[in-house]
Structure 1
Amino acid sequence: MIDPRIRMRHLRCFLETARGGSLSAAAASLHVSQPAASKTIRELEDILNVTLFARSSRRLTLTPAGKTFQQHVGAAFIDLGRAEDLVRERPVRRTRLIVGALPTASTDLVPRAALSLHDTAPECMLRVTTGPNWLLLSQLREGTLDMVVGRMAGAQVMEGLSFRPLASEPIIAVVRPDHPLAGKPPDATALAAFPLMLPPPGAVIAPLVSAYLHSIGLTRPEPAYESVSLSFGRRVVLLSDTVWFISEGVVRDELSRGLLTKMAIEDNLLSGPVGVSMRMNSTVTAEQKLFLEALVHAAESLSHQQADLRQADHQ
């Protein structure tokens, strides 16, 4: 039951304060004085009997209760606007979702989720942008992106961001089907005899690959190429003896069609979570919720497919 003392002005002031991080920003957006905005927030906290903002610094930050309240109030405002449009027979408002996708997610996981989102929310235009992990997470933190889908970055890079895992994905070594090392377990001597393509230093998977190569005795690898690009990597591997270390999701379609094949690596060092990164204090919109659900279903579907393929390989 909604407390009858809560008014729209309380909710609007709360959302604007959370978005701008200050009472002055909220006051400017709502065209009221700062004391009026401060009084409105105090009234709302008194009604709810909780503290919504931490005031220990110049910038107001949401408390755990404030984050919960923001998430649900923000979604409610979006739904209310849609309901108003429908009953007044207004044209359905076009919405937009901007997603950053790392290579491991952009070739299969995100496209599947994109198609699902279009089926459930055709009024939502989805923009997908790709790039290195550090750039996408920087854009996410700045508000240019709504979410980033891919491998989890290091703790220092994830400050202010949350991560929801979807699946665990291995890094693999791929070669052309008639390569001398196709299907064989790699060792330092064998790998040293062929050109290597490794992830560049800024890639999320670079430290994992480096640790793995060190564990098998290849302590100072000298790669011929550094790339996580599907178009570049696939072509180089098909035209040469290059061994490419890459996330399985990037080349999943090439493996299923037999264009590329894996070396026999069985090592937990090369597995890691793939999921969704978002800003901690951002309001989760209805479109973001739908896309998150689509990503979960797509990840589950891909997991079942991979399990079936592994079972077929062992038969």
Structure 2
Amino acid sequence: MNLDTRIKFRHLLCFLEIARQGSFAKAADAVAISQPAISKTLKELEDLLQTRLFDRDKSGVELTPAGVRFMRYAAPCVQALRDGVSSLRSEEHEPPQVRVGVLSTVESLLMPEVLCRLNERHAALVVSVATGPGAHLLAQLHVGELDVVIGRMTDSPQIQGLMFEHLYSEAMTLVVRPGHPLLGQVPTDRASVSRYPLVLPLAGTTIRKHADSLFVQCAIEPALQRLETLSPTLSRRYVLSSDAIWVAPRDAVLLDIREQALFELDLGVREPGGSVGICSNASLALPLPAQWLCDVVREVAASYREG
């Protein structure tokens, strides 16, 4: 089939923004047009392609299998044009840049080590780090706004159509402040855990599913009082100033445990751990700075696997 010249750049932009936001209303705000206008633009594109690109329900929109396939080509097309325009407007000696999405699972320990090694090897390199829920970061990866995403994300529906490289497995753990009433019990009385506030990852995230699974495995009824956040900084400060129990990826709190700023509760079992890895968009060529980053991430991850 010949390329239909009626497909315009605005069609692709609207399609990609809807996919990234998962909502017509949010996508309309992002591209500064009305919701009826963005719905009309998508309808035009679907008519031209003679296929439905999104399934719609009360919770938002989700790519159909046809939409996933089209995304593989639409995103590189738009990104290539943006890169071409940027190359004409940028300074001649602009430093190389890598755009990486970082989940909270690797924010505290792995990424600082990666950045230190990168700085030693590349005198001029800009590392732009985006944080947030995995679904949001993977949506940005789909449309070419990020080069790679690092963390636990294999359970996320948004990983469909992307390429995932396993690095190591990472378990969840429960940590508390020094002097917490539950310390000293070996193993910890599981029924007692229900009496204290919890700090949990956001509902719907990959690591929240692992946290919920750990409670099911241990037959623990989670407390109703809880803080839900992906911020290690907020979680750490809250736990240190209260009797709350933080359900966290072990890497996120390993330094605190070693320094005895936080202590692990022994439940008598260990959650098997989720897969931490590098996610990339196979339809986009990985820029050289992103390749540098991935090489160093693999090095640091190798030391994790070796203990």
Aligned match of 2:283: 281
Matches of 2:252 and 2:93, distance apart in 1: 36
Aligned match of 1:222 in 218, 224, 234? 224
Contact 1:172/1:265 (<8 A) preserved? no
How many residue pairs get matched?
Answer: 233
AA aligned opposite 1:136: L
Query: Is the aligned partner of 1:127 residue 2:128?
Result: yes
Contact 1:196/1:243 (<8 A) preserved? yes
AA aligned opposite 1:103: S
Aligned match of 1:156: 157
Matches of 2:5 and 2:146, distance apart in 1: 25
Contact 2:215/2:221 (<8 A) preserved? yes
- Equivalences for residues 61-210 of structure 1 within 5 A: 94-154=95-155, 156-182=157-183, 184-210=186-212
Deviation of 1:234 (Å): 1.1
Deviation of 1:269 (Å): 3.7
The structure that has the greater radius of gyration is 1
CA offsets 1:259-297 (integer angstroms, 9 cap, x no match): 001112454545111111111211022212111110011
Matches of 2:269 and 2:4, distance apart in 1: 52
Matches of 1:224 and 1:140, distance apart in 2: 31
Matches of 1:145 and 1:181, distance apart in 2: 42
Structure 1: gaps of 5 or more residues: 1-21, 29-56, 63-73, 75-90, 308-315
AA aligned opposite 1:100: G
- Equivalences for residues 294-305 of structure 1 within 5 A: 294-304=296-306
Q: Quick one: structure 1 residues 60 and 126, their matched pair in 2 at CA, closer, same or farther if it must change by over 3 Å? A: closer
AA aligned opposite 1:263: L
Q: Quick one: structure 1 residues 230 and 155, their matched pair in 2 at CA, closer, same or farther if it must change by over 3 Å? A: closer
Q: Quick one: structure 1 residues 265 and 272, their matched pair in 2 at CA, closer, same or farther if it must change by over 3 Å? A: farther
Contact 1:161/1:279 (<8 A) preserved? yes
Following TM superposition, the consecutive aligned residue runs of length 4 or more in structure 1 with deviations greater than 6 angstroms are: 22-25
Q: Quick one: structure 1 residues 149 and 61, their matched pair in 2 at CA, closer, same or farther if it must change by over 3 Å? A: closer
Q: Quick one: structure 1 residues 60 and 113, their matched pair in 2 at CA, closer, same or farther if it must change by over 3 Å? A: closer
**What TM-score do the two structures reach when normalised by structure 1?**
0.65
Matches of 1:151 and 1:132, distance apart in 2: 10
AA aligned opposite 1:145: L
% identical equivalent positions = 27
Deviation of 1:222 (Å): 1.9
**What TM-score do the two structures reach when normalised by structure 2?**
0.66
